[in-house]
Amino acid sequence: MAHESPKRIRNVALLGHRGSGKTSVNEAILFSAGAINRLGSVADGTTVSDSAPDEKAREMSISASLSSFHWDDRKMNLVDTPGEPSFVADALAALRVVEGAVFVVNGVMGVEVSTSRLWQRVADLGLARIVFVNMLDRERADFFRTLDSLKQAFGPHVVATEIPIGAEHELRGVIDLIDMKAYLYDGAGRDNCREAEIPDELAERAQEYREKLMDEVAEVSDELMERYLEGEEISHEETVSALKTGVTAGRLFPVTCGAATRNLGVDRLLNAFVEDLPSPAKKGALEADGLVLAPDETKDMVAFVFKTLADPYAGRVNLFRVLQGVLRHDSQVFNCRTHSKERIGQLLVPQGKENEHTDEFGPGDIGAVAKLKETHAGDVLAAKDGEIPLALPAMPKPVMAFAIEAKAKGDEEKMGAALRRLQEEDPTIDFHRDPQTGEQIVAGLTQIHVEVIVERMRERFGAEVGLHPPRVPYREAIKGKAKAHARYKKQTGGRGQFADCHIEIEPVPQGQGFEFVNQIKGGVIPGGFIPAVEKGVLEAMGSGVVAGYPVQDVRVRLYDGQHHSVDSSEMAFKIAGSMAFKDAMGNAQPVLMEPIMTVTVAVPEEYVGDVIGDLNSRRGRPLGMEPKGGLTEVKAEVPMSEMLSYAPDLRAITGGQGEYAMELARYEEVPAHVAQQVVQQAEREEAVRA
């Protein structure tokens, strides 16, 4: 089977807040394109993209899902991404391999938190964006209010290319503002759309929004603007071409609309993929640190792996994008990270969990390959070995940590293997042994994230584990400067140990991390021993002097010392460096730091007072609130230690009608009375271990 031309490919990611209906849009698109024969439902777990048991049980996307199909003689690669912030890694990874993003927005709620965050990420990458306002058949849905919220959030170049006919349960079609035609929908079948005249009662409004659209389109080029201002008619072809140019350049953001569960407006959205979003050929070459990768089949093959699926039966399945050249089955490629060879076996064209086989993928195309030995997300596969500067985007750091242990004796190895496989699938999972307690720690972005990790360990790998209460990742820092002198001297009969070093420590701005400055002069400490001092300091920073938590944001200057020509060694200087740091830190006003979270809570208006009162009781600082559709969004900054039991408490306060998201904002010094409790708890744990 020959590969597709990059001119006839569209790579698109579906993005948006949880509950906006992305999976329903994905399902309706596949149904409208003839890729599936039945319109599945999220509620009954029959959709193509949410096929995992935990996705069906929770009625939400947890992993990104790739579907490939054809529409209007183009190949469409559509990535349905999770909207729940706990699983944002898949959405961010998908942005590395698409030219266009479709933001699905709930017509009741308008622009929500995740939508705004992802929009900024997409803008940073310079990707084309269009919007689909979904759920317009719901009670309190309002397209024009949502359009206003989009303009307010993302600027004046957000422009409607369609407006709805009817509202809420009376929604029956859309008006295309480019063609100035109405399209009415009867039922949810595949051929449910018919062309009609614009209803008289909407003619004036349609003309108003058509003029707003043409104002934006005309700004794409000076020549077009000049003709438009002179009253000259802009042809349909010129309008479509200018719109695509503006979208590709990130200067125009078309807004379409409909209701995915009724398959209303989805065929128009598919047409927008073709007409408004760029192909890999139109987007052109990718440049990374001086390397140019062009969508050209004659060049050496380079492919980027953006997603790994950990299947206990099929093994690893890697989703990739061919950046240049052609990837063929039964070929041999290099993994540019490990510099090892990988044999490409079966190439797969995915559609949710189902796959078809193909012989090759050309430049710009997206596909899957199974059973590669060492390759996982973030790797580059190439025809020739070498350094290719491509990587996954920066991921949020895990902040919710639990102690984890196998329920059955002897299952520790199975638990570790399962977590390592899941880490390949989700790079925001952290799994490590706590050096202070000896416990195995698993950390994720939220409590839901960790719960899903545990479920997948059990369902996929048969690893039954238990979780202990979440651990707050406290840190320690210093507020002042201090000097220290440490001498390590040991005589054991033969060759002894000797090291002497003088250091000064001082705080650096939060987030700057650790800085080591070598100011040794005259060779009082030989250069070969300097790294050993730094290593000793880093080791000491793993357990601070306040409560044994890791130390952050410190500059250490090594400015003097002594050595012995026979007895000095790297080990001696490492020990001396560690001793000096602990001594200096005790005199540098050490403090305990706690993570502060930005919390966004969406609740019905009647619960706002109770929610704000509850956040205040958790040492929270409200940042404000604003209406979002039928709900009110409350923002606050709250210490993580106060949010560990928030999910069940919010359910109790709001009768299950509230939801929240949180992300790390920064670290702050812990108030004295709270710090005392944390220190006492650390001392009790240390006594138990002793």
What pLDDT score does 210 carry?
A: 95
Q: What is the 3-state secondary structure (H, E, C) of 370-404?
A: ECCCCCCCCCEEECCCCCCCCCCCCCCCCCEEEEE
* Number of other CB atoms surrounding residue 37 within 10 Å: 8
Domain that includes residue 458, residue range: 400-471
Q: What is the DSSP string of 552-596?
A: -SEEEEEEEEE--TTT--HHHHHHHHHHHHHHHHHTS-EEEEEEE
366-383 pLDDT, tens digit per residue, is: 999 998 988 999 999 999
Closest C-alpha among 456, 279, 307 to residue 369: 307
What pLDDT score does 436 carry?
A: 61
Q: Does residue 683 lie within any of the structural domains?
A: no
618-643 pLDDT, tens digit per residue, is: 999 999 998 876 678 899 999 999 98
Q: Does residue 688 lie within any of the structural domains?
A: no
Q: Which amino acid, residue 345?
A: G
Q: Does residue 392 lie within any of the structural domains?
A: no
**CATH code of the domain covering residue 482:** 3.30.230.10
- Do both 186 and 38 map to the same domain? yes
**CATH code of the domain covering residue 428:** 3.30.70.870
Q: Does residue 390 lie within any of the structural domains?
A: no
175-212 pLDDT, tens digit per residue, is: 999 999 999 999 888 889 999 999 999 999 999 999 99
- Is the pLDDT score of 493 beyond 70? no
pLDDT band at 18, cuts 50/70/90? confident
Q: How far is CA 435 from CA 196, 274, 440, 539, in A?
A: 70, 54, 9, 11
- Do both 432 and 565 map to the same domain? no
What pLDDT score does 48 carry?
A: 86
Quick one: which H or E segment has residue 151? helix 143-154
- Do both 98 and 163 map to the same domain? yes
- Do both 119 and 198 map to the same domain? yes
Give me the chain's average pLDDT, please. 91
Contact predicate 168/141, CB 8 Å: yes
Q: What is the mean pLDDT of residues 596-607?
A: 90
Q: Does residue 686 lie within any of the structural domains?
A: no
The pairs formed by 154-160 with CB atoms below 8 angstroms and a separation of 24 or more are 154/111, 154/119, 154/253, 157/216, 157/246, 157/251, 157/252, 157/253, 158/131, 158/253, 158/255, 159/212, 159/213, 159/216, 159/252, 159/253, 159/254, 159/255, 160/209, 160/212, 160/213, 160/254, 160/255, 160/257
What pLDDT score does 91 carry?
A: 94
Number of domains observed in the structure of the chain = 5
What pLDDT score does 637 carry?
A: 97
pLDDT more than 90, % of the chain: 66
- Is the pLDDT score of 591 beyond 90? yes
- Do both 372 and 406 map to the same domain? no
- Give the separation between CA 220 and CA 276, rounded to whole angstroms: 14
What pLDDT score does 1 carry?
A: 59
296-348 pLDDT, tens digit per residue, is: 999 999 999 999 987 766 678 999 999 999 999 999 999 999 999 999 988 99
Residue given tokens 């080990």 in the structure block: 571
Of 533, 567, 588, which residue is a domain's last? 588
DSSP 8-state assignment for residue 4: P
Helices and strands, counts by H and E, the chain: 17, 36
Q: How far is CA 116 from CA 83, 121, 149, 664, in A?
A: 12, 9, 11, 17
- Do both 543 and 642 map to the same domain? no
What pLDDT score does 629 carry?
A: 65
- Give the separation between CA 383 and CA 153, rounded to whole angstroms: 44
What pLDDT score does 590 carry?
A: 97
Quick one: which H or E segment has residue 317? strand 315-324
44 Cβ partners below 8 Å, 6+ apart?
none
399-451 pLDDT, tens digit per residue, is: 788 889 999 877 888 899 899 989 988 999 999 887 666 788 898 888 889 99
21-77 pLDDT, tens digit per residue, is: 999 999 999 999 999 988 888 877 788 887 777 888 888 888 899 999 999 999 999
Q: Does residue 452 lie within any of the structural domains?
A: yes
Q: What is the DSSP string of 55-115?
A: HHHHTS--S-EEEEEEETTEEEEEEE---SGGGHHHHHHHTTS-SEEEEEEETTT-S-HHH
- Do both 99 and 112 map to the same domain? yes
Q: Does residue 318 lie within any of the structural domains?
A: yes
Q: Does residue 689 lie within any of the structural domains?
A: no
- Do both 455 and 371 map to the same domain? no
**CATH code of the domain covering residue 635:** 3.30.70.240
- Do both 444 and 483 map to the same domain? no
- Give the separation between CA 128 and CA 98, rounded to whole angstroms: 9
- Do both 660 and 552 map to the same domain? no
**CATH code of the domain covering residue 87:** 3.40.50.300
DSSP 8-state assignment for residue 261: G
- Is the pLDDT score of 134 beyond 90? yes
What pLDDT score does 398 carry?
A: 82
What pLDDT score does 236 carry?
A: 85
What pLDDT score does 160 carry?
A: 97
User: Residue 612 has which token pair?
Assistant: 């704000």
- Give the separation between CA 69 and CA 652, rounded to whole angstroms: 44
pLDDT more than 70, % of the chain: 98
β-strands 366-370, 347-351: how paired?
A: antiparallel
Q: What is the mean pLDDT of residues 531-541?
A: 96
- Is the pLDDT score of 659 beyond 80? no
Of 283, 312, 339, which residue is a domain's last? 283
- Is the pLDDT score of 686 beyond 90? no
What pLDDT score does 116 carry?
A: 83
249 Cβ partners below 8 Å, 6+ apart?
none
- Do both 279 and 301 map to the same domain? no
Bigger pLDDT: 660 vs 100:
100
User: Residue 232 has which token pair?
Assistant: 């000259």
Q: What is the mean pLDDT of residues 351-363?
A: 87
DSSP 8-state assignment for residue 319: E
26 Cβ partners below 8 Å, 6+ apart?
14, 47, 48, 49, 65, 67, 78, 80
- Is the pLDDT score of 358 beyond 90? yes
- Do both 50 and 144 map to the same domain? yes
Of 214, 248, 283, which residue is a domain's last? 283
Q: What is the mean pLDDT of residues 78-93?
A: 92
**CATH code of the domain covering residue 354:** 2.40.30.10
Three-state SS for 339? coil
User: Residue 257 has which token pair?
Assistant: 């609309």
